[in-house]
Chains A and B, each alone.
Chain A
Amino acid sequence: MIAGDAKSNTLVPSVIIASGVTLAGVALPLDTSLQYTLIASVAWAIAAVGLDLLVGYTGQVSFGQAAFVALGAYAVTALRVHLGFPLPLAILVGVGLVAGIAIVLGSIVLRLRIFGLAVSTLFFGYVVITALMGDGLAPIFGGSNGILAPTFDLIGTDPRALMLMSGIVLIIVVLVTANITSSQTGRALRMIKHNEAVASATGIKVKRVKLFAFVYCSVLAAIGGVLYSGVVGYLSPDGFGIDQSISIFAMMVVGGAGTIGGPILGALLITVVPGYFLRDGHTSAIIFAAILLVFLILLPEGLYGLGQRAIAGIRRSLRRVWPQRRSSSVAVVASDAEGEADLRGGASRISAARMELPGDTGDGPALEIDDIRVQFGDFVALDEVSIAVRRGSVHAIVGPNGAGKTTLLNAVSGLYVPVKGEIRLLGESTKGLLPHQIRQRGVIRTFQTPATVPDLDVLENVKLGLDADERSSFWIDFFGSLTTRKRERALEAEAHWALDAVGIPRSRRTLMVKGLDLSEQKRVELARGLVGHAKILLLDEPTAGLSVAEMDVLAQVLKDVHERFDLTIMVISHHIGFILEIADELTVLDYGRVIANGEPDEVLKRQIVAETFLGVEAEPDALAQEENA
């Protein structure tokens, strides 16, 4: 993973930071030069916050952010100067144009890995600056001479008015960004950052969401550019080159990636210090670079993290001096009465939903794997594999390491495409379907290493399971809790119900998942599988790494869930005892082929199965006897 943990609950601190900066700029009697530098830093801060959503929360990179700032500034200025657009129209059209460019660029470069993305966005920045500097566009953009940007009407050059306007824009940007990161879209972003393949399997439309993050990032940069043009009053390509893109990136990292408020602090540091405090030339440049480096090395969590620790420290010493009444540290999400009703509702919702799902023809296997062959280059992982999973049964898959069990699950959930054969879900083929589409058909799977998002809490992780079934909208998420409150409450109620079902106590539901032990994490993942409207549950080694006692608990939970909701379950496991307890049917794989299939007790007694697992050499006579029997 390229970036560290992203933070939830950053809305309040981030808004405080943004407001603080605005207030300081407007209210304090500052030197004019410092005021202007402060306003410029707000413009860069907005660009840095946009970058934070893309990098800190979605795990991508972009080294072309300054180019988007330039595009925004130049587009709006050109529209005003050459076409005489009034400011609001110019902003709308200009930022819209930049969004368009971002959509086109993003659709191409987001397919690449991190390093490729870094270099291509870097080069994009270079292309933009070359074009702006060049001759071809000089009549519009002024070329290397630059272009004078007219001031904003009604505000002119009054520094306090400019500061107030910039500050308000910053605060709005922070609010919207924080709303997004704590919404359904935000959870999707975090999952993508963690693991894209897994995100796809949980139903997230990865390409769309990544593109959204990229475009959002660029739009914020463009807004920063518009502010910059109004404040500085003069645009030249020099100020938006690679160095500046790298600066914005550094602002985000030094301030704290994944915090929203952090990049604002970073922008302040990196713009104001060399722009106002260290202006003597070489020695100042050296000092500044040294400070930057020291911050990066000693404060990996950035200024935001430093601030958090400082406040925590102050709180602790305050409490020592002045003890408070102890208040419960766990927020109870829904009031009891409502909660009860929802819990009961949740259970009936699941069964009702299940019966409504299309394609349910009543009889016939829930899952049919028909003679598939999966190969990677020359290596054949699965061959002639046919398995029928009866509706409502628990079907176990066993086999030695490397037999192809996980590959089988990956093929069913759409991560691998078989070169031969077909997979049918409730009678319908899954040929050509993407993982998130298969998920929408009701196939939910877990992973060997629990695919939970480590920097989200338990409740949020479980809510992720429902997101695929809810219709999402980026626009609704912008407005945050106002519009999403009802939906989030409903999601939470179901999440609580699922967590009850798997036995995670209430007190642990607001903890970060990475703080839980393995067995708990597995159960959280299972809970996420339960809340989704599953028709088929695919469990990949749920017992791996668990103790005997924990395995018992898990077996109990699965039996319980299986009975209550009549779910079809396909489970991979190494633990025979566990399988005997829960499975109705057993398939044995070895070297990518099915070597036995049937009732667990009976299959396990077969000689060939014993050989596969225990390496027992059968005597030729005994084998012949068996075959003849």
Chain B
Amino acid sequence: MSLFLSAAISGVALGLLYGLIGFAIVMLYKSTGVANFAQGSLATLGAFVAFTFVRDLGLPLPVAILLALVISAGIGIVTFFVVMRPRAEAGNLNVTVRTLGLSLLLLALMEWQWGPQAPYRFPSIVEGSGITVANVVLTPQNLLVAGVSAAIAALLWAFFRYTKAGLSLRALAEQPETARLLGLRSSRLGAMTWAISCILGTIVAVLLAPSAFLLPTMMDSYIMFTFTGIVLGGLTSFPGAMLGCVIVGIISNVTIVAFNFEMSVVVIFVLMLIGMLLKPQGILGKPDAVRL
């Protein structure tokens, strides 16, 4: 029994990580209606940038990370203007597949540049031995992730609710044409969204890299569970995304320990189907309405 408890707690830590990745995806979806499949690669790229600053230029870690965040924002803006914006009227399908193509390109570039010597040891932001709860050790990393998740969740919630920019983004996502007619500068807002999303991604990657080891495909295995958690919890809700991801993390680890990995995949799948049948918009999501 205690094994299950430990597994569940470690699952919470894992879920918080998924949720943190999920914030960036939800943010983009809320603002642009696009599901960004390149989230993982963009984030990993940001981590590699930070790593290059540390290893090749000898900069201290905090400085390197800050610089990497700035550069990530830049990459986000460039992505928006070069990949997403041209002929955006092509339809959501085309635009979503573009993110897939972008992911492929980034992956190929990273493999070419950094592939041969991968994986790399990425310096940790916090050191220490962590705390032990119910026979599972929560590393300083896990605790940092939890703290950062809470902080970012609060920030994003406030951003979308109270700031002018946040409200404009929501309007833009729900009714793009009307919003534009009302004077919202969709280009500027779109670029800003992508910049913020990339910054969020890099933060996650930098938190993740010390334990996952930095390599081009670092985030691939996380992304799918993140998407599952988001769909379960609510595509347009930050607390929902986090809740869904934590549930996925807990169920995943407990079933691995109780049975094996294959069972855990099946269980999560069934859980997701049931959840979506009962509440298609997610546990905390808002239902979509179409005016007839």
A and B in contact, CB less than 8 Å: yes
Chain A contact residues, CB within 8 Å of chain B: 1-4, 55, 61, 108-109, 111-113, 115-116, 118-120, 122-124, 126-127, 130-131, 134-136, 195, 197-198, 242, 246, 249-250, 253-254, 257, 282-283, 285-286, 288-290, 292-293, 296-298, 300, 406, 410, 415, 447-448
From residue A380, how far is it (CB to closest CB) to chain B in Å?
17
Q: Which B residues lie within 8 Å of A293 (CB)?
A: 83, 98, 101-102, 104-105
In the complex, what residue of chain B is closest to A257 when comparing beta carbons? B93
- In the complex, what residues of A have CB within 8 A of residue B290's CB? 195, 197
The residue that A286 contacts in the complex, of B101, B105, B224, with Cβ under 8 A, is B105
B162: interface (CB < 8 Å): no
Any chain A CB within 8 A of the CB of B198? Answer: no
Within the complex, the shortest CB–CB distance from B48 to chain A, in Å, comes to 15
CB <8 Å contact, B112 and A134 = no
CB within 8 Å of A: which of B230-263?
Answer: 230-231, 235, 261-262
**When the two chains form the complex, which single residue of A113, A120, A195 contacts B272, counting CB atoms closer than 8 Å?**
A120
Assembled-state Cα–Cα distance A285/B115 (Å): 13
Cβ-neighbour of A126 out of B94, B97, B224 (below 8 A):
B224
CA distance A283 to B109 in the complex (A): 8
8 closest cross-chain pairs (CB), A and B? A300-B90, A289-B105, A282-B112, A285-B108, A293-B101, A289-B104, A286-B108, A119-B231
The winner among A109, A136, A285, A448 for most chain B CB atoms within 10 A is A285
Interface residues of B in 136-168 (CB under 8 A from A): none
A123 in contact with B269 (CB, 8 Å): yes
B91 touches A2 (CB 8 A): yes
A130-B262 CB under 8 A given contacts A120-B272, A124-B269, A293-B105? yes
Please name 11 pairs of A and B residues whose Cβ atoms are closer than 8 Å in the assembled complex, sorted by A: A2-B91, A4-B94, A111-B276, A111-B280, A127-B266, A130-B261, A131-B262, A250-B101, A297-B98, A300-B94, A410-B292
Known: A253-B97, A293-B98, A300-B90. A134 touches B224 (CB 8 A): no
Residues from chain B with a CB closer than 8 A to the CB of A131 are 262, 266
Q: Which positions 110-150 of chain B face chain A at CB distance < 8 Å? A: 111-112, 115
Which B residues lie within 8 Å of A257 (CB)?
A: 93
* Mask: chain B, 59-100; 1 = CB below 8 Å from A; 0 = not: 000000000000000000000000100110111111001101
Q: Does B276 lie within 8 Å of A112, measured CB to CB?
A: yes
Q: Are B97 and A249 in contact (CB under 8 A)?
A: yes
Contacts A113-B288, A285-B111; A290 near B280 (Cβ below 8 A):
no
Chain B residue numbers with a CB within 8 Å of A195 are 290
16 more CB-based (< 8 A) A-B contacts, given A126-B265, A197-B290: A108-B277, A118-B35, A120-B269, A120-B272, A122-B224, A127-B266, A130-B262, A282-B111, A282-B112, A285-B108, A285-B111, A285-B112, A296-B94, A297-B86, A297-B98, A448-B292
Q: Could you tell me if A116 and B101 are in contact, using CB atoms closer than 8 angstroms?
A: no
Do residues B292 and A290 form an inter-chain contact, with CB atoms below 8 A? Answer: no
Q: Determine if B186 is an interface residue (Cβ-Cβ < 8 Å).
A: no
Indicate whether B3 reaches chain A with its CB closer than 8 angstroms: no
Q: How far is the CB of A625 from chain B (nearest CB, A)?
A: 42
Quick one: given A116-B231, A126-B265, are A4 and B108 in contact (CB under 8 Å)?
no
**Residues A116 and B97 in contact, CB atoms below 8 Å apart:** no
Expressed in whole angstroms, the minimum distance between the Cβ of B141 and any Cβ of chain A is 26
Q: Which of B90, B98, B230, B265 contacts A127 (CB 8 A)?
A: B265
Q: How far is the CA of A123 from the CA of B89 in the complex (A)?
A: 29
B212 CB within 8 Å of chain A: no
What is the CA–CA distance of A447 and B272 in the complex, to the nearest angstrom? 36
CA gap between A4 and B288 in the complex, in Å: 21
In the complex, what residue of chain A is closest to B29 when comparing beta carbons?
Answer: A115
- Inside 8 A of B228's CB, which chain A residues have their CB? 119, 123
Q: Verify if B227 is at the interface (C-beta below 8 Å from A).
A: yes
Q: Report chain B residues within 8 Å CB of A447.
A: 292
B108 touches A289 (CB 8 A): yes
CB-based contact B109/A292 at 8 Å: no
In-complex Cβ contact of B273 among A2, A108, A130 (8 A): A108
Most buried by A among B91, B109, B227, B281: B91
Within 8 A of A (CB), among B266-290: 266, 268-269, 272-273, 276-277, 280-281, 288, 290
- Bound together, the chains give a CA A130 to CA B260 distance in angstroms of 12
Chain A nearest CB, measured from B97 CB (Å): 5
What is the bound-complex CA distance between A120 and B290, given in angstroms? Answer: 23
Could you say which residues of chain B place their CB within 8 Å of the CB of A112?
A: 276, 280
